[in-house]
Structure 1
Amino acid sequence: MSPGDEHDSFGGVGGSGQTRTRLPEGNSGDVHGGPRRPARSSRSLITVVGVVVLLVAAIALANRGGTDPTDTAGPTADPPGKTAPTAATGVPPVTGKNGAIPTGYAHDAQGAQSAATNYAVALGSVEMFQDGPREGIVRATHDPAVADDLLKRLDTSYSAGFMTSIGLDANGAAPSGLTFVSRTVPVGAKVRDYTDTSATVEVWCTGLVGLAGAGSTKPVTSTWFTLTQKLTWVGGDWRITSSTQAEGPTPVNGDNRASVADEIAAAVEGYGGFTYAR
């Protein structure tokens, strides 16, 4: 993925007790993508995939930085000091969908957070590596005014050479016996700026990316990154106009034993994703 230059930077965020997880969605093709970065022998894969996700969101790693405006709360934001880190708050998750992507978010700061979080999952998913599904995801998550240009860039970025470099064929399929893993799992979200027509939301995520299975030379590794999405209210819903990502915040690794490739493949295929909402 070649870096584009239009999505702002996803500054570091923390889990501020503002994101909630609800509604398991089933076991297949969920929109969890694995974006980003460093990883020993599979570093090149992670790096490329990271750029892919950026492009996906229509941006470039080169454009990191930017100020961190004071957090602002929208009409339905939780009162300060009344939210525990894992407590469910706010209105229920959306019930509408555009394809596999949850849509129909509330026209307030809470709705913008829910949209940005679910869009981060979709844009980091395995489906982004397949032409048809990729177009559907981009059109469901982006402002129509930027979708066509973004798709052109993505079509160029997801070239046969790029696919080969990450171990996939030209159609985005993994070699026989291997499972391509690309999932984004939001950990927290917060609003940086909000108006009635626009919002800037940061989503702190962990991601999984790599090829799972016996003999894989690009094992599945975890990454941590923060996505910053600029959203606009258009067509009765929140849509992305630009976005960027930055590495971290990254916690210290625990003492968990690394699972064998087959265990990872079975987990990815057996555990479905979620719809996220404040």
Structure 2
Amino acid sequence: MTGQNTPPSRRTAIIATVVVVLLIAGVLLVRLSRDTAPVNDRSATSSGAEAPRPTVAAGAAGPAGNSARVPVGFSADEPGAVAAATAYATASQRWLYFTDEEIEAAIAEIATPVAAPRLTADVVADVAMAREQLAQSSGRIWWLVRPLASRIDDSRDTEARVSVWTVTILSAASVAAPQSEFLTVTLDLSWVDGDWRVDGVRDTPGPTPITGPQDQPWDAEPFDRALDGFIRMDGEPVS
């Protein structure tokens, strides 16, 4: 085995903490608070101007397609709510590679009309800071957000609450030592305009497993070299 695991420098670890605050603390979604009114009536908050959502096939949960480069079109039942929550809880995977205008369009597709303006403002601000930090990296940036498990906490005709256990991996040479963050992201969903939409998001740390007995800390450069030739499972390029 030739992997060169070397402990990250103190400076790298300190910088990594800054980036984690910007990127991982809430996976760029959970700043949305519940002080906005929840959506209880789909007709009262329907935008009325959107094209019809793609229709999910019978017996499928979705997504049925993409709009503004995010998954949309989920079934109006618990499996559909879980599928939507899973997609939305890991949406921050995409934000880093979007322009501000693309973020605004994407959030308009997945959030309720009440929640979208504040969510957009917070995500755009966070991504701008993250881009500035990560632009200083001298190598490739590994930024992965993945779902691990889900749970339905509450489900009604037009509302659902789903928790998704996620892991985020970040590594950027000269900016962030390789690190992972486990979060449980809880999403309040409302059925609006023929689809499940985010009405509120919050997160709690963990549960977090310890590393394996043979694992050692890696610095960003050998971490990246060890992944040379690997392609992300979603097909997105490593920046």
What TM-score do you get using the length of structure 1 for normalisation?
Answer: 0.61
- State the shift of 1:209 in Å: 1.7
Distance of aligned partners of 1:181 and 1:136 in 2 relative to their CA distance in 1, 3 Å threshold: farther
Aligned CA RMSD, in angstroms, stands at 2.8
Compared CA separation, residues 123 and 260, structure 1 to 2 (3 A): closer
Alpha-carbon distance between aligned partners in 2 of 1:208 and 1:95, rounded to the nearest angstrom: 28
**Which residue matches 1:67?**
none
| Pairwise CA distance, 1:93 | 4.2
How far apart are the structure 2 equivalents of 1:185 and 1:91? 21
C-alpha deviations, 1:170-208, integer Å up to 9, x for none? xxxx64x52223221100001101101111100001111
The unaligned stretches of length 5 or more in structure 2 are 1-11, 35-58
Computing the radius of gyration from Cα coordinates, the structure with the larger value is: 2
SS at match of 1:106: coil
Alpha-carbon distance in 1 for matches of 2:88, 2:23: 17
- 1:238 corresponds to which residue? 196
Question: How far, CA to CA, are the matches of 2:116 and 2:93 in structure 1?
Answer: 16
Give the CA deviation at 1:243: 0.2
SS at match of 1:189: strand
- Provide the residue aligned with 2:4 in structure 1: none
- CA distance in 2: counterparts of 1:158 and 1:144, whole angstroms: 21
* Structure 1 Cα separation of the partners of residues 103 and 226 of structure 2: 28
Q: TM-score, normalised by structure 2?
A: 0.70
Corresponding residue for residue 11 of structure 1:
none
**Alignment match, 1:183:** 144
Alignment of 1:84-123 (within 5 A): 91=60, 93-123=62-92
Work out whether residues 209 and 220 of structure 1, in 8 Å CA contact, stay in contact via their aligned partners in 2: yes
Aligned to 1:53: 27
Which one of 159, 164, 169 corresponds to residue 208 of structure 1? 169
- On the 8 A contact 2:62/2:80 being kept in 1, the answer is no
Q: CA–CA distance in 2 between the matches of 1:218 and 1:242?
A: 29
Question: How many residue pairs get matched?
Answer: 194
Amino acid in structure 1 at the alignment position of 2:164: V
Instruction: Tell me, yes or no, if the aligned pair for 1:224 and 1:247 is still in contact at 8 Å.
Output: yes
* Structure of greater relative contact order (alpha carbons < 8 Å, 6+ residues apart): 1
**Distance in 2 (alpha carbons) for counterparts of 1:52 and 1:224:** 10
Q: Give the Cα separation in 2 of the matches to 1:57 and 1:217.
A: 24
Which of 159, 162, 185 matches 1:198? 159
Contact 2:68/2:102 (8 A) holds in 1: no
Q: 1:139 to 1:167 in 2, by over 3 A?
A: same
C-alpha distance in 1 between matches for 2:209 and 2:84 = 25
